[in-house]
Structure 1
Amino acid sequence: MIKLISRKNINIDKYDDCIKNSIQSRIYAFSWYLDTVSKNWSVLVLNDYEAVLPISWQRKLFFKLGNQPYFSQQLGVFSKDLISKELQKEFLSQIPIHFFKVVIHFNSQNYSTENTITLKNYKLILNTDYVSFKKNFSKGRKHAIKVGEKASLYVKETTISELIKIYKDNYSYKIPYKVLTALSNAILRNRKGFLIGVFKDEQLLGGALFTDHNNRITYLFAAFTVKGKTLQASSFLLSEVIKKYQNSNLTLDFEGGNMPSIAKFYRSFGAEEENYFAFKRTLL
Protein backbone atom coordinates (compact mmCIF):
# COMPACT_ATOMS: atom_id res chain seq x y z
CA MET A 1 0.00 0.00 0.00
CA ILE A 2 1.30 3.43 -1.00
CA LYS A 3 0.15 6.50 0.89
CA LEU A 4 1.06 10.20 0.90
CA ILE A 5 2.41 11.50 4.21
CA SER A 6 2.92 15.19 5.00
CA ARG A 7 6.24 16.39 6.36
CA LYS A 8 4.96 16.82 9.91
CA ASN A 9 3.71 13.23 10.05
CA ILE A 10 6.74 11.49 8.57
CA ASN A 11 8.56 9.00 10.77
CA ILE A 12 11.94 10.63 10.19
CA ASP A 13 13.98 7.73 11.58
CA LYS A 14 12.30 5.22 9.28
CA TYR A 15 12.37 7.62 6.32
CA ASP A 16 16.09 8.44 6.63
CA ASP A 17 16.88 4.78 7.23
CA CYS A 18 15.19 3.97 3.93
CA ILE A 19 17.21 6.66 2.12
CA LYS A 20 20.47 5.57 3.76
CA ASN A 21 20.00 1.88 2.97
CA SER A 22 18.31 2.22 -0.40
CA ILE A 23 19.81 0.86 -3.58
CA GLN A 24 19.54 4.34 -5.10
CA SER A 25 20.74 6.36 -2.09
CA ARG A 26 21.41 10.04 -2.82
CA ILE A 27 22.21 12.79 -0.35
CA TYR A 28 19.49 15.03 -1.84
CA ALA A 29 16.72 12.85 -0.37
CA PHE A 30 17.64 12.92 3.33
CA SER A 31 15.18 14.80 5.53
CA TRP A 32 17.74 17.36 6.71
CA TYR A 33 18.69 18.11 3.09
CA LEU A 34 15.10 18.49 1.88
CA ASP A 35 14.24 20.60 4.93
CA THR A 36 16.99 22.98 3.82
CA VAL A 37 16.31 23.25 0.08
CA SER A 38 12.53 22.88 -0.03
CA LYS A 39 9.86 25.09 1.57
CA ASN A 40 7.44 22.15 1.63
CA TRP A 41 7.74 18.46 0.95
CA SER A 42 5.71 15.33 1.42
CA VAL A 43 6.50 11.70 0.74
CA LEU A 44 4.78 8.73 -0.84
CA VAL A 45 5.52 5.69 1.32
CA LEU A 46 5.23 2.01 0.45
CA ASN A 47 4.02 -0.03 3.44
CA ASP A 48 6.38 0.53 6.40
CA TYR A 49 8.93 2.73 4.58
CA GLU A 50 10.07 -0.09 2.30
CA ALA A 51 10.28 2.46 -0.52
CA VAL A 52 9.67 6.21 -0.66
CA LEU A 53 9.17 8.99 -3.18
CA PRO A 54 9.70 12.50 -1.74
CA ILE A 55 7.87 15.34 -3.46
CA SER A 56 8.96 18.95 -3.04
CA TRP A 57 6.16 21.46 -3.60
CA GLN A 58 4.89 24.99 -3.27
CA ARG A 59 1.31 26.19 -2.96
CA LYS A 60 -0.56 28.29 -5.50
CA LEU A 61 -4.13 29.11 -4.53
CA PHE A 62 -5.83 25.76 -3.86
CA PHE A 63 -3.24 23.74 -5.75
CA LYS A 64 0.19 22.35 -5.03
CA LEU A 65 2.95 22.59 -7.62
CA GLY A 66 5.53 19.84 -7.32
CA ASN A 67 9.00 21.10 -8.15
CA GLN A 68 12.59 19.91 -8.27
CA PRO A 69 14.37 21.95 -5.58
CA TYR A 70 17.64 23.80 -6.15
CA PHE A 71 20.86 21.87 -5.51
CA SER A 72 19.01 18.54 -5.85
CA GLN A 73 19.78 16.94 -9.17
CA GLN A 74 18.23 13.52 -8.58
CA LEU A 75 15.34 12.42 -6.37
CA GLY A 76 12.71 9.86 -7.41
CA VAL A 77 11.98 6.48 -5.83
CA PHE A 78 14.29 5.09 -3.15
CA SER A 79 13.92 1.47 -2.10
CA LYS A 80 15.70 -1.04 0.09
CA ASP A 81 15.03 -3.76 -2.51
CA LEU A 82 14.96 -3.63 -6.28
CA ILE A 83 11.64 -2.31 -7.54
CA SER A 84 9.89 -2.95 -10.84
CA LYS A 85 8.95 -0.40 -13.45
CA GLU A 86 5.32 -1.18 -12.63
CA LEU A 87 5.81 -0.27 -8.96
CA GLN A 88 7.47 3.00 -9.95
CA LYS A 89 4.44 3.77 -12.13
CA GLU A 90 2.19 2.89 -9.19
CA PHE A 91 4.01 5.47 -7.06
CA LEU A 92 3.39 8.13 -9.71
CA SER A 93 -0.28 7.17 -10.00
CA GLN A 94 -0.69 7.83 -6.29
CA ILE A 95 0.26 11.50 -6.56
CA PRO A 96 -3.00 13.26 -5.62
CA ILE A 97 -4.84 15.43 -8.16
CA HIS A 98 -4.43 18.51 -5.97
CA PHE A 99 -0.82 18.44 -7.19
CA PHE A 100 -1.84 20.43 -10.28
CA LYS A 101 1.68 20.25 -11.72
CA VAL A 102 4.47 17.84 -10.80
CA VAL A 103 8.14 17.83 -11.79
CA ILE A 104 10.36 15.07 -10.41
CA HIS A 105 13.88 14.27 -11.54
CA PHE A 106 14.34 10.55 -10.97
CA ASN A 107 17.70 9.18 -9.90
CA SER A 108 19.76 7.31 -12.49
CA GLN A 109 18.67 3.95 -11.07
CA ASN A 110 14.98 4.65 -11.67
CA TYR A 111 13.17 3.83 -14.90
CA SER A 112 12.04 5.90 -17.83
CA THR A 113 8.24 6.04 -17.95
CA GLU A 114 5.53 7.97 -19.75
CA ASN A 115 5.94 11.73 -19.53
CA THR A 116 9.70 11.58 -18.96
CA ILE A 117 12.58 13.17 -20.81
CA THR A 118 16.20 12.04 -20.69
CA LEU A 119 18.79 14.21 -18.94
CA LYS A 120 22.55 13.77 -18.79
CA ASN A 121 25.03 13.63 -15.95
CA TYR A 122 28.73 12.76 -15.94
CA LYS A 123 30.71 10.73 -13.44
CA LEU A 124 34.21 9.37 -12.99
CA ILE A 125 34.95 6.27 -10.91
CA LEU A 126 38.20 6.90 -9.02
CA ASN A 127 39.42 3.32 -9.18
CA THR A 128 42.99 3.81 -10.38
CA ASP A 129 45.99 6.09 -9.88
CA TYR A 130 46.16 9.73 -10.93
CA VAL A 131 48.81 9.12 -13.59
CA SER A 132 46.48 6.66 -15.34
CA PHE A 133 43.59 9.11 -15.12
CA LYS A 134 45.67 11.94 -16.56
CA LYS A 135 46.50 9.82 -19.61
CA ASN A 136 42.78 9.84 -20.40
CA PHE A 137 42.40 13.61 -19.99
CA SER A 138 41.96 15.45 -23.27
CA LYS A 139 44.88 17.40 -24.68
CA GLY A 140 43.14 20.66 -23.82
CA ARG A 141 42.47 19.59 -20.23
CA LYS A 142 46.08 18.59 -19.70
CA HIS A 143 47.14 22.01 -20.97
CA ALA A 144 44.63 23.77 -18.69
CA ILE A 145 45.91 21.93 -15.62
CA LYS A 146 49.48 22.79 -16.60
CA VAL A 147 48.51 26.48 -16.76
CA GLY A 148 47.31 26.27 -13.15
CA GLU A 149 50.43 24.44 -12.04
CA LYS A 150 52.74 26.96 -13.70
CA ALA A 151 50.84 29.77 -11.97
CA SER A 152 51.59 28.05 -8.62
CA LEU A 153 47.93 27.65 -7.74
CA TYR A 154 47.11 25.71 -4.59
CA VAL A 155 43.99 24.56 -2.78
CA LYS A 156 42.84 24.96 0.81
CA GLU A 157 39.60 25.42 2.72
CA THR A 158 37.43 28.46 2.12
CA THR A 159 33.94 29.65 3.12
CA ILE A 160 30.62 29.60 1.32
CA SER A 161 30.22 33.36 1.86
CA GLU A 162 33.43 34.00 -0.09
CA LEU A 163 32.29 31.76 -2.95
CA ILE A 164 28.87 33.40 -3.05
CA LYS A 165 30.51 36.83 -3.27
CA ILE A 166 32.56 35.61 -6.23
CA TYR A 167 29.43 34.17 -7.84
CA LYS A 168 27.47 37.43 -7.44
CA ASP A 169 30.32 39.41 -8.97
CA ASN A 170 30.94 37.12 -11.94
CA TYR A 171 27.74 35.30 -12.93
CA SER A 172 24.42 36.64 -14.19
CA TYR A 173 22.20 33.65 -13.36
CA LYS A 174 20.55 34.16 -9.97
CA ILE A 175 20.37 31.37 -7.39
CA PRO A 176 18.87 31.31 -3.86
CA TYR A 177 21.90 32.42 -1.86
CA LYS A 178 20.27 32.00 1.54
CA VAL A 179 19.38 28.41 0.70
CA LEU A 180 22.91 27.73 -0.51
CA THR A 181 24.39 29.19 2.68
CA ALA A 182 22.08 27.13 4.88
CA LEU A 183 22.77 24.01 2.81
CA SER A 184 26.53 24.46 2.99
CA ASN A 185 26.30 24.87 6.76
CA ALA A 186 24.14 21.75 7.03
CA ILE A 187 26.49 19.69 4.85
CA LEU A 188 29.52 20.67 6.92
CA ARG A 189 27.65 20.23 10.19
CA ASN A 190 26.61 16.71 9.19
CA ARG A 191 30.13 15.98 7.91
CA LYS A 192 28.71 15.16 4.51
CA GLY A 193 31.02 17.22 2.33
CA PHE A 194 33.70 19.86 2.12
CA LEU A 195 34.47 23.35 0.78
CA ILE A 196 37.68 23.92 -1.11
CA GLY A 197 39.14 27.07 -2.65
CA VAL A 198 41.81 27.71 -5.27
CA PHE A 199 44.38 30.36 -4.33
CA LYS A 200 47.30 32.24 -5.84
CA ASP A 201 49.49 34.23 -3.50
CA GLU A 202 46.75 34.08 -0.82
CA GLN A 203 44.19 35.48 -3.30
CA LEU A 204 41.04 33.39 -3.63
CA LEU A 205 40.30 32.68 -7.30
CA GLY A 206 37.24 30.51 -6.72
CA GLY A 207 36.28 27.18 -5.35
CA ALA A 208 33.57 24.59 -4.90
CA LEU A 209 31.24 22.89 -2.46
CA PHE A 210 31.26 19.09 -2.64
CA THR A 211 29.00 16.57 -0.96
CA ASP A 212 30.28 13.19 0.19
CA HIS A 213 27.75 10.39 0.60
CA ASN A 214 27.50 6.70 -0.22
CA ASN A 215 30.90 6.57 -1.98
CA ARG A 216 29.83 9.46 -4.20
CA ILE A 217 31.57 12.86 -4.17
CA THR A 218 29.36 15.42 -5.86
CA TYR A 219 30.49 18.72 -7.40
CA LEU A 220 27.50 20.65 -6.05
CA PHE A 221 28.36 24.33 -6.53
CA ALA A 222 31.32 26.26 -7.90
CA ALA A 223 32.28 29.86 -8.65
CA PHE A 224 35.43 31.44 -10.09
CA THR A 225 36.71 34.96 -10.71
CA VAL A 226 37.79 36.22 -14.13
CA LYS A 227 41.41 35.73 -13.10
CA GLY A 228 40.54 32.26 -11.84
CA LYS A 229 39.04 31.35 -15.20
CA THR A 230 42.09 32.72 -17.01
CA LEU A 231 44.41 30.62 -14.84
CA GLN A 232 42.21 27.53 -15.31
CA ALA A 233 41.36 27.29 -11.61
CA SER A 234 38.36 24.99 -12.17
CA SER A 235 40.43 22.44 -14.09
CA PHE A 236 43.16 22.67 -11.48
CA LEU A 237 40.68 22.16 -8.62
CA LEU A 238 39.03 19.08 -10.16
CA SER A 239 42.45 17.67 -10.97
CA GLU A 240 43.46 18.06 -7.32
CA VAL A 241 40.27 16.32 -6.15
CA ILE A 242 40.92 13.41 -8.51
CA LYS A 243 44.50 13.28 -7.25
CA LYS A 244 43.39 13.27 -3.61
CA TYR A 245 40.84 10.47 -4.04
CA GLN A 246 42.70 8.31 -6.54
CA ASN A 247 42.51 4.53 -5.98
CA SER A 248 39.52 4.99 -3.65
CA ASN A 249 36.74 3.49 -5.82
CA LEU A 250 34.70 6.58 -4.97
CA THR A 251 32.60 8.11 -7.74
CA LEU A 252 33.23 11.74 -8.65
CA ASP A 253 29.81 13.05 -9.69
CA PHE A 254 30.18 16.18 -11.84
CA GLU A 255 26.41 16.84 -11.44
CA GLY A 256 25.77 18.22 -14.89
CA GLY A 257 26.05 17.72 -18.61
CA ASN A 258 22.85 18.85 -20.33
CA MET A 259 24.59 21.86 -21.87
CA PRO A 260 26.98 20.75 -24.67
CA SER A 261 29.83 22.97 -23.44
CA ILE A 262 29.55 21.63 -19.89
CA ALA A 263 29.32 18.05 -21.15
CA LYS A 264 32.47 18.57 -23.22
CA PHE A 265 34.30 19.96 -20.17
CA TYR A 266 33.43 16.94 -18.01
CA ARG A 267 34.18 14.44 -20.79
CA SER A 268 37.63 15.99 -21.06
CA PHE A 269 38.41 14.44 -17.65
CA GLY A 270 37.49 11.01 -18.98
CA ALA A 271 34.07 11.09 -17.33
CA GLU A 272 31.34 8.75 -18.55
CA GLU A 273 27.76 9.72 -19.33
CA GLU A 274 25.00 8.76 -16.91
CA ASN A 275 21.37 9.21 -17.94
CA TYR A 276 18.50 10.05 -15.61
CA PHE A 277 14.91 10.99 -16.31
CA ALA A 278 12.70 13.96 -15.55
CA PHE A 279 8.99 13.29 -15.02
CA LYS A 280 6.48 16.04 -15.72
CA ARG A 281 2.72 15.95 -15.29
CA THR A 282 0.19 18.76 -15.60
CA LEU A 283 -3.54 18.32 -14.99
CA LEU A 284 -5.58 20.40 -17.42
Structure 2
Amino acid sequence: MIQLLSHQEIDVAQWEACLASCPQPLVYAHAWYLNMVTKNSWQALVEIKDGKYVSVLPVAIKKWIGQKQVYQPLFTQQLGLFTTEESSHTTVVEYLEALAQHFQQLQYQLPASESFSLPNQASWQMRPRPNYELPLAAPYEVLYKGYSQNLKRSLKKAAQAGLVPVLVSSPEAVIRLFTQTKGKELPSLQSRHYAILQKLTAETQKHGVGEVWEIRKSGELVTGAIILRDAHRITFLFGASSAQGRKLGAMGFLLNYLIEQASNQHIIFDFEGSEVPGVANFYAGFGAEPVSYLSLSFQRSNTSPSWTRTVFTSLAKRLP
Protein backbone atom coordinates (compact mmCIF):
# COMPACT_ATOMS: atom_id res chain seq x y z
CA MET A 1 0.00 0.00 0.00
CA ILE A 2 1.26 3.47 -0.93
CA GLN A 3 0.48 6.19 1.60
CA LEU A 4 1.11 9.93 1.65
CA LEU A 5 2.72 10.68 5.00
CA SER A 6 3.15 14.13 6.51
CA HIS A 7 6.52 15.15 7.88
CA GLN A 8 5.33 14.41 11.42
CA GLU A 9 4.12 10.93 10.44
CA ILE A 10 7.39 9.78 8.86
CA ASP A 11 9.38 7.30 10.94
CA VAL A 12 12.95 8.48 10.39
CA ALA A 13 14.51 5.18 11.47
CA GLN A 14 12.33 3.30 8.98
CA TRP A 15 13.10 5.89 6.31
CA GLU A 16 16.86 5.57 6.71
CA ALA A 17 16.64 1.77 6.84
CA CYS A 18 14.74 1.80 3.53
CA LEU A 19 17.36 4.04 1.88
CA ALA A 20 20.12 1.76 3.19
CA SER A 21 18.45 -1.15 1.37
CA CYS A 22 18.13 0.71 -1.93
CA PRO A 23 20.68 -0.19 -4.63
CA GLN A 24 21.38 3.44 -5.64
CA PRO A 25 20.27 5.93 -2.97
CA LEU A 26 21.01 9.64 -3.35
CA VAL A 27 22.40 11.71 -0.50
CA TYR A 28 19.68 14.31 -1.14
CA ALA A 29 17.01 11.82 0.02
CA HIS A 30 18.24 11.38 3.59
CA ALA A 31 15.74 12.67 6.13
CA TRP A 32 18.29 14.98 7.73
CA TYR A 33 19.22 16.44 4.31
CA LEU A 34 15.58 17.07 3.43
CA ASN A 35 15.02 18.66 6.83
CA MET A 36 17.75 21.18 6.11
CA VAL A 37 16.86 22.15 2.52
CA THR A 38 13.10 22.37 3.18
CA LYS A 39 13.17 23.59 6.79
CA ASN A 40 11.26 20.43 7.76
CA SER A 41 8.58 21.09 5.14
CA TRP A 42 8.51 17.80 3.24
CA GLN A 43 6.23 14.81 2.91
CA ALA A 44 6.55 11.44 1.22
CA LEU A 45 4.72 8.69 -0.58
CA VAL A 46 5.68 5.50 1.21
CA GLU A 47 5.00 1.86 0.40
CA ILE A 48 4.57 0.01 3.68
CA LYS A 49 4.62 -3.76 4.12
CA ASP A 50 4.05 -5.31 7.55
CA GLY A 51 4.88 -1.98 9.15
CA LYS A 52 8.13 -1.63 7.18
CA TYR A 53 9.03 1.05 4.63
CA VAL A 54 9.96 -0.72 1.38
CA SER A 55 9.67 2.18 -1.12
CA VAL A 56 9.83 5.94 -0.58
CA LEU A 57 9.39 9.04 -2.72
CA PRO A 58 10.05 12.35 -0.90
CA VAL A 59 8.52 15.68 -1.93
CA ALA A 60 9.34 19.19 -0.74
CA ILE A 61 6.27 21.26 0.10
CA LYS A 62 5.61 25.00 0.05
CA LYS A 63 2.45 27.06 0.30
CA TRP A 64 1.43 29.47 -2.45
CA ILE A 65 -1.79 31.47 -2.20
CA GLY A 66 -2.99 29.13 0.51
CA GLN A 67 -2.34 25.93 -1.44
CA LYS A 68 0.41 23.35 -1.00
CA GLN A 69 2.73 22.79 -3.95
CA VAL A 70 5.56 20.37 -4.63
CA TYR A 71 8.83 22.03 -5.61
CA GLN A 72 12.47 21.08 -6.16
CA PRO A 73 14.47 22.49 -3.25
CA LEU A 74 17.74 24.32 -3.71
CA PHE A 75 20.93 22.19 -3.36
CA THR A 76 18.90 19.10 -4.30
CA GLN A 77 19.41 18.29 -7.95
CA GLN A 78 17.30 15.13 -7.95
CA LEU A 79 14.99 13.14 -5.76
CA GLY A 80 12.78 10.32 -7.08
CA LEU A 81 11.56 6.85 -6.17
CA PHE A 82 13.77 4.68 -3.98
CA THR A 83 12.80 1.01 -3.94
CA THR A 84 14.04 -2.16 -2.26
CA GLU A 85 13.85 -5.87 -3.13
CA GLU A 86 10.61 -6.03 -1.14
CA SER A 87 8.89 -3.31 -3.17
CA SER A 88 5.71 -4.21 -5.03
CA HIS A 89 5.11 -0.71 -6.45
CA THR A 90 8.22 0.06 -8.46
CA THR A 91 6.83 2.18 -11.29
CA VAL A 92 7.39 5.91 -10.83
CA VAL A 93 4.20 6.76 -12.72
CA GLU A 94 2.11 5.21 -9.93
CA TYR A 95 3.58 7.66 -7.46
CA LEU A 96 3.27 10.64 -9.79
CA GLU A 97 -0.40 9.88 -10.34
CA ALA A 98 -0.88 9.73 -6.58
CA LEU A 99 0.88 13.08 -6.15
CA ALA A 100 -1.36 14.66 -8.79
CA GLN A 101 -4.38 13.67 -6.69
CA HIS A 102 -3.03 15.52 -3.66
CA PHE A 103 -1.38 18.62 -5.16
CA GLN A 104 -2.48 21.12 -7.81
CA GLN A 105 1.04 22.01 -8.90
CA LEU A 106 4.30 20.10 -8.93
CA GLN A 107 7.89 20.68 -10.00
CA TYR A 108 9.99 17.56 -9.53
CA GLN A 109 13.36 16.23 -10.74
CA LEU A 110 14.30 12.58 -10.78
CA PRO A 111 16.66 10.16 -12.56
CA ALA A 112 15.78 9.22 -16.13
CA SER A 113 15.14 5.62 -17.13
CA GLU A 114 14.39 3.90 -20.42
CA SER A 115 11.07 2.62 -19.08
CA PHE A 116 9.86 5.98 -17.77
CA SER A 117 6.61 7.40 -19.10
CA LEU A 118 4.49 10.33 -18.00
CA PRO A 119 1.08 9.85 -16.42
CA ASN A 120 -1.85 10.02 -18.82
CA GLN A 121 -3.06 13.43 -17.63
CA ALA A 122 -2.36 16.13 -20.23
CA SER A 123 -1.24 18.55 -17.52
CA TRP A 124 2.14 16.82 -17.16
CA GLN A 125 5.22 18.05 -19.00
CA MET A 126 8.72 16.60 -19.06
CA ARG A 127 12.05 18.17 -19.85
CA PRO A 128 15.34 16.22 -19.89
CA ARG A 129 18.35 17.93 -18.34
CA PRO A 130 22.01 16.90 -18.48
CA ASN A 131 24.05 15.71 -15.55
CA TYR A 132 27.72 14.81 -16.02
CA GLU A 133 29.12 11.72 -14.34
CA LEU A 134 32.52 10.03 -14.33
CA PRO A 135 32.92 6.42 -13.09
CA LEU A 136 36.09 6.17 -11.02
CA ALA A 137 36.66 2.38 -11.11
CA ALA A 138 39.73 2.67 -13.33
CA PRO A 139 43.23 3.61 -12.10
CA TYR A 140 43.99 7.33 -12.18
CA GLU A 141 46.42 6.90 -15.09
CA VAL A 142 43.58 5.52 -17.21
CA LEU A 143 41.19 8.30 -16.14
CA TYR A 144 43.83 10.92 -16.94
CA LYS A 145 44.18 9.58 -20.50
CA GLY A 146 40.51 10.45 -20.98
CA TYR A 147 41.09 14.11 -20.09
CA SER A 148 40.97 16.73 -22.84
CA GLN A 149 44.20 18.34 -23.99
CA ASN A 150 42.97 21.71 -22.71
CA LEU A 151 42.45 20.27 -19.23
CA LYS A 152 45.85 18.58 -19.23
CA ARG A 153 47.53 21.88 -20.12
CA SER A 154 45.55 23.66 -17.43
CA LEU A 155 46.55 21.10 -14.80
CA LYS A 156 50.24 21.53 -15.65
CA LYS A 157 49.89 25.30 -15.35
CA ALA A 158 48.17 24.98 -11.97
CA ALA A 159 50.82 22.57 -10.71
CA GLN A 160 53.58 24.95 -11.76
CA ALA A 161 51.83 27.69 -9.77
CA GLY A 162 52.26 25.55 -6.64
CA LEU A 163 48.56 25.18 -5.89
CA VAL A 164 47.70 22.86 -2.98
CA PRO A 165 44.13 21.70 -2.13
CA VAL A 166 43.39 21.83 1.61
CA LEU A 167 40.48 20.30 3.51
CA VAL A 168 38.96 22.91 5.84
CA SER A 169 36.17 22.93 8.40
CA SER A 170 34.06 25.92 7.39
CA PRO A 171 32.34 26.77 4.08
CA GLU A 172 32.13 30.45 4.99
CA ALA A 173 35.04 31.64 2.84
CA VAL A 174 33.90 29.63 -0.20
CA ILE A 175 30.36 30.97 0.07
CA ARG A 176 31.64 34.52 0.50
CA LEU A 177 33.84 34.16 -2.59
CA PHE A 178 30.81 33.00 -4.58
CA THR A 179 28.75 36.01 -3.47
CA GLN A 180 31.58 38.30 -4.58
CA THR A 181 31.94 36.68 -8.00
CA LYS A 182 29.31 34.53 -9.73
CA GLY A 183 26.70 35.36 -7.13
CA LYS A 184 26.50 38.93 -8.44
CA GLU A 185 25.00 37.53 -11.64
CA LEU A 186 22.33 35.61 -9.69
CA PRO A 187 20.16 38.16 -7.86
CA SER A 188 17.60 35.45 -7.09
CA LEU A 189 20.12 33.95 -4.68
CA GLN A 190 19.64 35.82 -1.42
CA SER A 191 21.29 35.80 1.99
CA ARG A 192 18.74 33.27 3.29
CA HIS A 193 19.80 30.79 0.59
CA TYR A 194 23.46 31.11 1.54
CA ALA A 195 22.48 30.67 5.20
CA ILE A 196 20.75 27.39 4.28
CA LEU A 197 23.89 26.24 2.45
CA GLN A 198 26.08 27.03 5.44
CA LYS A 199 23.81 25.11 7.81
CA LEU A 200 23.43 22.28 5.30
CA THR A 201 27.20 21.94 4.98
CA ALA A 202 27.58 21.71 8.75
CA GLU A 203 24.89 19.00 8.81
CA THR A 204 26.56 17.01 6.02
CA GLN A 205 29.83 17.18 7.93
CA LYS A 206 28.06 15.99 11.07
CA HIS A 207 26.80 12.96 9.13
CA GLY A 208 30.22 12.26 7.61
CA VAL A 209 29.38 13.05 3.99
CA GLY A 210 30.30 16.74 3.67
CA GLU A 211 33.72 18.18 2.84
CA VAL A 212 34.94 21.72 2.18
CA TRP A 213 38.05 22.17 0.05
CA GLU A 214 40.04 25.33 -0.58
CA ILE A 215 43.00 26.38 -2.66
CA ARG A 216 44.79 29.57 -1.64
CA LYS A 217 47.54 31.53 -3.35
CA SER A 218 49.64 33.78 -1.13
CA GLY A 219 46.95 33.45 1.53
CA GLU A 220 44.11 34.50 -0.81
CA LEU A 221 41.31 32.07 -1.57
CA VAL A 222 41.31 31.42 -5.32
CA THR A 223 38.91 28.49 -5.48
CA GLY A 224 36.86 26.29 -3.21
CA ALA A 225 34.23 23.58 -3.31
CA ILE A 226 31.66 21.88 -1.11
CA ILE A 227 31.67 18.14 -1.79
CA LEU A 228 29.29 15.35 -0.77
CA ARG A 229 30.88 11.92 -0.44
CA ASP A 230 29.06 8.67 0.32
CA ALA A 231 29.53 5.00 -0.55
CA HIS A 232 28.10 5.46 -4.05
CA ARG A 233 29.25 8.84 -5.36
CA ILE A 234 31.17 12.05 -4.86
CA THR A 235 29.01 15.06 -5.69
CA PHE A 236 30.28 18.52 -6.58
CA LEU A 237 27.57 20.46 -4.73
CA PHE A 238 28.88 24.02 -4.84
CA GLY A 239 31.99 25.85 -5.98
CA ALA A 240 33.53 29.29 -6.43
CA SER A 241 36.61 30.75 -8.09
CA SER A 242 38.19 34.18 -8.10
CA ALA A 243 39.47 35.83 -11.27
CA GLN A 244 42.97 34.66 -10.36
CA GLY A 245 41.65 31.17 -9.69
CA ARG A 246 40.07 31.00 -13.13
CA LYS A 247 43.29 32.23 -14.72
CA LEU A 248 45.27 29.54 -12.90
CA GLY A 249 42.76 26.77 -13.63
CA ALA A 250 42.38 26.20 -9.90
CA MET A 251 38.94 24.58 -9.97
CA GLY A 252 40.02 21.99 -12.52
CA PHE A 253 43.10 21.32 -10.41
CA LEU A 254 40.94 20.81 -7.29
CA LEU A 255 38.47 18.48 -9.01
CA ASN A 256 41.33 16.50 -10.54
CA TYR A 257 42.85 16.12 -7.06
CA LEU A 258 39.57 14.69 -5.73
CA ILE A 259 39.26 12.36 -8.71
CA GLU A 260 42.82 11.10 -8.25
CA GLN A 261 42.16 10.50 -4.54
CA ALA A 262 39.07 8.41 -5.26
CA SER A 263 40.27 6.58 -8.38
CA ASN A 264 40.21 2.79 -8.55
CA GLN A 265 36.99 2.69 -6.53
CA HIS A 266 33.52 1.66 -7.70
CA ILE A 267 31.96 5.08 -7.20
CA ILE A 268 30.78 7.91 -9.43
CA PHE A 269 32.10 11.46 -9.55
CA ASP A 270 28.96 13.54 -10.02
CA PHE A 271 29.60 17.02 -11.47
CA GLU A 272 25.87 17.89 -11.11
CA GLY A 273 25.75 18.91 -14.78
CA SER A 274 24.96 22.15 -16.55
CA GLU A 275 23.02 23.35 -19.58
CA VAL A 276 25.60 26.09 -20.20
CA PRO A 277 27.87 24.90 -23.06
CA GLY A 278 31.07 26.26 -21.50
CA VAL A 279 30.43 24.56 -18.16
CA ALA A 280 29.31 21.33 -19.82
CA ASN A 281 32.51 21.31 -21.90
CA PHE A 282 34.56 21.84 -18.74
CA TYR A 283 33.00 18.78 -17.12
CA ALA A 284 33.27 16.75 -20.32
CA GLY A 285 36.97 17.61 -20.33
CA PHE A 286 37.40 15.14 -17.44
CA GLY A 287 35.95 12.37 -19.58
CA ALA A 288 32.58 12.71 -17.84
CA GLU A 289 29.57 11.57 -19.85
CA PRO A 290 26.17 13.29 -19.98
CA VAL A 291 23.54 11.39 -18.00
CA SER A 292 20.03 12.74 -18.33
CA TYR A 293 17.68 13.40 -15.48
CA LEU A 294 14.09 14.55 -15.84
CA SER A 295 12.48 17.81 -14.78
CA LEU A 296 8.72 17.26 -14.48
CA SER A 297 5.98 19.83 -14.24
CA PHE A 298 2.31 19.36 -13.40
CA GLN A 299 -0.41 21.97 -13.05
CA ARG A 300 -4.03 21.01 -12.51
CA SER A 301 -5.65 23.67 -14.65
CA ASN A 302 -6.67 24.45 -18.23
CA THR A 303 -3.42 26.24 -18.91
CA SER A 304 -0.14 24.55 -19.71
CA PRO A 305 2.48 24.56 -16.95
CA SER A 306 5.29 27.00 -17.49
CA TRP A 307 8.98 26.37 -16.96
CA THR A 308 9.89 29.04 -14.42
CA ARG A 309 13.44 30.18 -13.86
CA THR A 310 13.80 29.10 -10.28
CA VAL A 311 16.63 29.76 -7.88
CA PHE A 312 17.66 26.14 -8.40
CA THR A 313 18.03 26.43 -12.16
CA SER A 314 19.87 29.73 -11.77
CA LEU A 315 22.43 28.09 -9.50
CA ALA A 316 22.71 25.11 -11.85
CA LYS A 317 24.08 27.46 -14.49
CA ARG A 318 27.03 28.59 -12.36
CA LEU A 319 30.47 28.70 -13.96
CA PRO A 320 33.37 26.81 -12.36
2:254 maps to which residue?
Answer: 237
Q: Identify unmatched segments of 5+ residues in structure 1.
A: none
Distance 1:206 1:128 in 2: 27
Letter in 1 for 2:46: V
Q: Shift of residue 131 of structure 1?
A: 2.1
1:241-273: CA deviations, max 9, x gaps? 111112122211111132222211111100112
Distance 2:275 2:116 in 1: 17
Distance 1:85 1:264, change over 3 A: farther
Distance 2:91 2:267 in 1: 30
Distance 2:86 2:179 in 1: 43
1:118 maps to which residue?
Answer: 128
Distance 1:25 1:145 in 2: 33
2:308 maps to which residue?
Answer: none
Equivalence map 1:197-276=2 (5 Å): 197-276=214-293
SS at match of 2:53: coil
Distance 1:7 1:111, change over 3 A: farther
Distance 2:200 2:33 in 1: 7
Match of 2:179 among 160, 168, 174: 168
1:176-203: CA deviations, max 9, x gaps? 1011001100011111121111122332
1:63-106: CA deviations, max 9, x gaps? 11110001111101111139799732111111154522101111
Please provide the CA RMSD for this pair.
1.9
2:31 maps to which residue?
Answer: 31
SS at match of 1:9: coil
Distance 2:23 2:200 in 1: 24
TM-score (norm 2): 0.84
Q: Identify unmatched segments of 5+ residues in structure 2.
A: 119-124, 302-320
Distance 2:88 2:77 in 1: 22
Letter in 2 for 1:163: V
Letter in 1 for 2:83: S
* Contact 2:47/2:89 (8 A) holds in 1: no
Distance 1:113 1:182 in 2: 37
Distance 1:2 1:224, change over 3 A: same
TM-score (norm 1): 0.94
Distance 1:108 1:218, change over 3 A: farther
Q: Percent identity at matched positions?
A: 29
Distance 1:33 1:110, change over 3 A: farther
1:4 maps to which residue?
Answer: 4
Match of 2:62 among 58, 63, 77: 58
Distance 2:115 2:298 in 1: 16
Distance 1:200 1:212, change over 3 A: same
Q: Shift of residue 277 of structure 1?
A: 1.2
1:110-144: CA deviations, max 9, x gaps? 85322322111111111222222222111111111
Q: Report the number of matched residues.
A: 284
Distance 2:5 2:132 in 1: 33
